[in-house]
Amino acid sequence: MGIERFSCEATPPANCRDGAVAIGNFDGVHRGHASLLAELRRRADAVSGPAVAISFDPHPLQLLNPARFQPVLTTPDDRAALLLTAGADRVVLLRTTTELLALTALEFFNRVIRDGFRARALVEGDNFGFGRNREGNIDTLRELCKQAKIDFAVVPPFEWSGVRVSSSRVRNALLQGDVRGAADLLGRPYQLRGTVSVGQKRGRTLGFPTANLECVPTLIPADGVYAASARHADRIWPAAVNVGPNPTFAEQARKIEAHLIGFQGDLYGQGLAIDFVQKLRDTRPFAGVHELVEQLRRDVEQATQLANETGRTP
């Protein structure tokens, strides 16, 4: 797939060298990142070399300040696949180590950019920081590239619908349950991946069997009921998804329960991906089972209608 994993001490393979390089966390791979990758693609073509996107695994904050670390928007593999789709020829997931984080800006530039990847062009956003304690910035990088005779381009902030697109803005939208707004910033629906586990099977007794999603490594949107699309076995199913507790039955545990509309079968132990389309309502308690079932019917009708409107049907 064009994905490489190695540490900063390793010599990159030939197909990752002598081209154009962009470095960043690229969390979410949103529209702003796509803009940067488009410029990376142009610079790579100009120097007749590969377009190489370099990211980090794990996220540096997990080592530097675990208390400040928040769940990421994309897994490393999904991030790499999205970067390839956006225009990169090769994606390198650089192993984040204490040694890597201890490099000064000059050491990082010399070891990784100049000597390791032998970059002939470098493309970054205007807020790029690098080296120990982020001591290096765009001005530092510009001067180092000038000395090393490396073509350097700074991509300006990317605005969409009047706002600057950033991973933080996407994250904030999701934490407010605004999955439609997050999708607008990403350029695609926000997706969760996980493994289907055995739940209490209460949904089945109510006529709305659900797949309980566990082992989700990325940010979970705010509590609520959502219209979504569920991806399984190369097929797409419209879905109504509940995120949060089940107050009607006095259950406080936060869960992700997806009702795949029209699906029949057993998903236990299998992987499932959920693309969020729109929030339908907040999570709330109901007076009894009959009232809950009536609301679930309305949720399914709305989710089906949105699936038909977006073309996300089986």
- Per-residue pLDDT at 246: 78
End-to-end CA gap in the chain: 27
pLDDT at 202 over 70: no
- Per-residue pLDDT at 204: 63
CA atoms within 13 A on the CB side of 47: 24
pLDDT at 143 over 80: yes
In the chain, alpha helices (H): 31-47, 61-64, 76-85, 98-102, 105-108, 138-148, 167-175, 179-186, 202-206, 289-310
Q: What is the DSSP string of 130-187?
A: BSGGG-B-HHHHHHHHHHHT-EEEEEPPPEETTEE--HHHHHHHHHTT-HHHHHHHHT
Other beta carbons within 10 angstroms of residue 71's beta carbon come to: 13
Second CATH level (architecture) for the domain 179-310? Beta Barrel (2.40)
Question: What is the average per-residue pLDDT within 61-65?
Answer: 90
**Comparing 3-160 with 179-310, is the CATH topology the same?**
no
- Per-residue pLDDT at 285: 83
Question: What is the average per-residue pLDDT within 94-104?
Answer: 95
- Per-residue pLDDT at 312: 56
Of 227, 199, 223, 215, which is closest to residue 300 (Cα–Cα)? 227
Percent above pLDDT 90 for the chain = 79
Choose between 199 and 4: higher pLDDT: 4
- Per-residue pLDDT at 200: 62
Residue boundaries of the structural domains of the chain: 3-160, 179-310
- Treating both helix axes as pointing N-terminal to C-terminal, what angle do 179-186 and 167-175 enclose, rounded to 10 degrees? 160
Question: What is the average per-residue pLDDT within 135-156?
Answer: 97
pTM attached to this predicted model: 0.93
- Two structure tokens written together for 168: 């933080």
- Name the CATH superfamily for 3-160: HUPs (3.40.50.620)
pLDDT at 75 over 70: yes
Question: What is the average per-residue pLDDT within 53-59?
Answer: 95
Cβ-contact 272, 193 below 8 angstroms? yes
- Per-residue pLDDT at 203: 57
- Per-residue pLDDT at 165: 97
Choose between 68 and 149: higher pLDDT: 149
